Amino acid sequence: MLVLIGFDQVVDAGQVVPSRPADRDLHSLGNPEQIRVSRVELDLSVDFAKKELQGTATLAFRRMPGCPSGIPLDLDTRELKIERVAAGVTDEALTEVRFELGHEGADPVRPESDLKRERLLGTRLRIFVPDDATRVRVTYRTAPTASALQWLDPPRTAGRKQPFLFTQSEAIHARSWIPLQDSPGVRITYAATIRVPEGLRAVMSADQLPGREGQSDARFEMTQPIPPYLIALAVGDLAFRSLSPRTGTYAEPSVVAAAASEFVDTEAMIKAVETRFGPYRWGRYDLLVLPPSFPFGGMENPKLTFATPTILAGDRSLVSLVAHELAHSWSGNLVTNATWRDFWLNEGFTVYLERRIVEDVFGPDRAAMEAVLGLRELREELAAFPPRDQVLHIDLADRDPDEGMTRIPYEKGALFLTTIEHAFGRERFDAFLRAYFDHFAFQSITTADFERYLQAQLLDSDPAAAAKLNVQAWLHEPGLPPGFPEPTSTRFAVVTTAARDWLEGKIPAEQLATRDWSTHEWLHFLQALPLELPPEKMAALDKEFALTGTGNSEITQQWLLMAIRNHYAPADARLESFLTSIGRRKFLMPLYGELKKTAEGTTRAKAIYAKARPFYHPIAVESVDRLLGTK
Ligand code: BES
Ligand code: ZN
């Protein structure tokens, strides 16, 4: 059944097919406009010795209306070793078919532009499927260097006895472990059978099916159509703690108690979003705490958020990350950016929802402090990036989508939505958002789709309020349009005064009223100090508050930045231990970046990095290599 919506889109059973070239996904080599994959069934063995996944991916697909006969099926791959491909109508009747991987058999002298494209996007797998075929089975193995996979030897885990594997598919890494149409506009359901060594447990971004008698393999099913970047797998020595009937946390046994205590508010967070923006549609919501080399803070894999252990502060002060990944269950997983140009639709909406959750669950003070810190980061990023990268609807042609992963889509996106909220009032904006999630549920949409919907559902209803908004500037122009509501925090105002008084010598460190300060107030305090701080001031703070020894990762990072800048030697060892034990890119990049500012710092950065590199995830390695020029 085909339905025409707007002027340029065809919806076929929940799939949105952009027909305007501007809306095409430039980061996939697949051909979903002609033949579209709708389901993936994996049967994979996890081989820790070889650092390899081996097995099959069986894909169900269908020809789009008007697709001429003889058209092959094009998939994305990266470094996959393809052994065999079979196609047919049923699994019982698959016959081997011809396939082409990349430029096999093509001109041996290939232009540099080709090679660059391959480095960026991987290798196209072209399968010559018969016209009547609806299924194809690819037998393959992954490369040990697969960009989505991190294989950890036992010493890199908390328990030190068992190895660990986890995937990170966003943005375009799913293709390095599964041959598929790796575009967020191509939604698929999936099933998986995962064969793991004795004693290890596999978890995925899906429902786990009950075990089969006498079989040790784990089976999973995701019945809702998701974009491929949300397929996720982790294997390790994992324990589980329940948090509520539908929430819980997985972590290594020695970490799971801390995780369960940190995440107690998860159910309350889900209820907060449900009340305002509609039901949680994914059944369970669990959190998996990964080993410290996980390159991100969190990843919103459906039903199972992946999280860095660096948010386990002990005082629940960093759980806005949980709010964030949970919010993606609406913005991102339910309504998805159709291309990586539209990434702000995922992240800007999510930061907006994150702050609303924090406000509901922890109060407006905390939400305000996080908004102030967020805007500060945004201003720093705007100052650091060229105009073309400051645009929400960013041009990513010939670029790695990772390059669009700055604070800009997050914070500028959220600020745009806050500005709309202020123009129309919270009540109307909440109703708009709720309807938006219903309207586009399980679809992948572009910025243009959002603009049309905003115009029709909100702006047209109140031209006076709409006149206050410059949508064009917010979405398509660099910088920050004037007239947005600047967040302020009264608690921060108190801290700012304290910082000034201490700096001017009016009060000594021991008299600072820090007893009730949250992580946020500490961060604000440190950020309120001048970039250059004399050694005795650094020492006085450290003596009074033991900042070099703090266990809070955010405060540690802020303190270490100051230590590098001010050549504060007593923190040297901590800097090295931090950089060699934590692989979260958000922490690494500013610290290496700060070191790189001086010749002596650069030498140190390279020495530390030489030790740390084997421990980092391929995604972090890529970034740090680029920063330090160590590739
Ligand atoms: N989806 C992102 C992580 C991501 C984005 C991975 C793009 C790969 C490519 C996730 O939801 C996220 O934004 N994580 C943040 C934490 C959040 C609290 C801002 C992070 O990891 O820093
Ligand atoms: Zn996010």
Q: How far is the CA of 563 from the centre of ligand 1 (A)?
A: 27
Q: For residue 16, what are the β-bridge partners?
A: 11
Task: Give the dihedral sign, CA 310/314/317/323.
Answer: positive
Nearest CA to ligand 1 atom 17: 321
202-218: pLDDT as tens digits = 999 999 999 888 888 99
Task: Identify how many contiguous H helices and E strands the chain contains and give both numbers.
Answer: 20, 25
Nearest-CA residue for ligand 1 atom 11 is 299
**Res 540: pLDDT:** 97
Q: Is the pLDDT of residue 3 over 70?
A: no
SS3 letters for 349-416?
HHHHHHHHHHHHHHCHHHHHHHHHHHHHHHHHHHHHCCHHHHCCCCCCCCCCHHHHCCHHHHHHHHHH
CA angle 596, 600, 602 (to 5 degrees): 30
Give me ligand 1 centre to Cα 350, in Å. Answer: 10
Contact, 196 vs 41, CB < 8 A?
Answer: no
Q: Which CATH superfamily is domain 254-488 in?
A: Neutral Protease Domain 2 (1.10.390.10)
Q: Is the pLDDT of residue 240 over 70?
A: yes
Mean pLDDT of the region 592-610? 98
Considering the candidates 250, 410, 568, 609, report the single residue annotated as catalytic: 410
Residue nearest to atom 18 of ligand 1 (CA): 321
Question: What is the Cα–Cα distance from 264 to 285, expressed in whole angstroms?
Answer: 13
Q: For the residues 233-241, what does the mean pLDDT come to?
A: 98
Pocket of ligand 1, candidates 167, 172, 343, 347: which has the most ligand atoms within 8 Å of its Cβ, to mutate?
A: 347
**List of residues 6+ apart from 48 with CB closer than 8 A:** 151, 163, 165, 197
Q: How far is the CA of 333 from the centre of ligand 2 (A)?
A: 10
pLDDT at 104: 64
Query: Which of the ligands is closest to the CA of residue 554?
Result: 1
Nearest atom, ligand 1, residue 351 CA? 19
Residue 615: count other Cβ atoms within 10 Å of its Cβ.
21
Q: Write down the H helix ranges in 93-215.
A: 112-121
pLDDT at 584: 98
Arithmetic mean of pLDDT, 510-534: 97
Give the tens place of pLDDT for each residue, 393-438.
Answer: 999 999 999 889 999 999 999 999 999 999 999 999 999 999 999 9
Distance 201 CA to ligand 2 centre (A): 26
With a cut of 50, say whether residue 244 has pLDDT above it: yes
- 247 CA to middle of ligand 2, Å? 20
- CATH of 30-237, picked from 3.60.9.10, 3.40.50.300, 3.40.1160.10, 2.60.40.1730, is 2.60.40.1730
The tens digit of pLDDT for each residue in 96-110 reads 999 999 976 566 677
The reported pLDDT for the residue numbered 115 is 86
Residue to mutate (ligand 1; options 299, 333, 355; most atoms within 8 A of CB): 299
Cα–Cα distance between 83 and 468 in angstroms, integer? 59
Give the whole-angstrom CA distance, residue 494 versus residue 522: 12
Q: Which atom of ligand 1 is nearest to the CA of 347?
A: 13
In the residue annotation, 325 being an active-site residue is answered as yes
Residue nearest to atom 2 of ligand 1 (CA): 299
Residue 89 has pLDDT above 60, yes or no: yes
Distance, in Å, from the CA atom of 164 to the CA atom of 237, rounded to the nearest integer, reads 7
Atom 1 of ligand 1, nearest CA residue: 299
Distance 337 CA to ligand 2 centre (A): 12
Choosing from 252, 325, 411, 421, the catalytic residue is 325
What is the residue with the minimal CA distance to atom 3 of ligand 1? Answer: 299
Which ligand is the nearest neighbour of the Cα of 586? 1
Using the mean position of ligand 2's atoms as its centre, give its distance from the Cα of residue 410 in Å: 8
Q: Is the pLDDT of residue 12 over 50?
A: no
Report which ligand 1 atom has the smallest distance to the Cα of 410.
19
Percent share of the chain, pLDDT over 70: 96
Atom of ligand 1 nearest to the CA of 171: 9
CA of 322 to the centre of ligand 1 (A): 11
Reported pTM: 0.96
The residue whose C-alpha atom lies closest to atom 6 belonging to ligand 1 is 170
Q: How confident is the model at residue 8 (pLDDT cuts 50, 70, 90)?
A: very low
- Checking if the pLDDT of 18 tops 70, the result is no
Domain spans of the chain, in order of start: 30-237, 254-488
Digit-coded pLDDT (tens) for 437-487: 999 999 999 999 999 999 999 999 999 999 999 999 999 999 999 999 999
Report residue 373 CA to chain centroid gap: 20
Structure tokens at 406: 């700055």
24-70 pLDDT, tens digit each: 999 999 999 999 999 999 999 999 999 999 999 999 999 999 999 99
Which residue owns the Cα nearest ligand 1 atom 14? 298
Q: Looking at residue 2, what is its pLDDT?
A: 41
Q: What is the pLDDT of residue 106?
A: 61
Cβ < 6 A, ligand 1 pocket: 170-171, 296-300, 321, 324-325, 328, 347, 405, 410, 586
- Closest ligand to C-alpha of residue 301 is 1
Q: What's the chain's average pLDDT?
A: 95
Nearest atom of ligand 1 to the alpha carbon of 324: 18
- Alpha carbon 29 to chain centroid, angstroms: 22
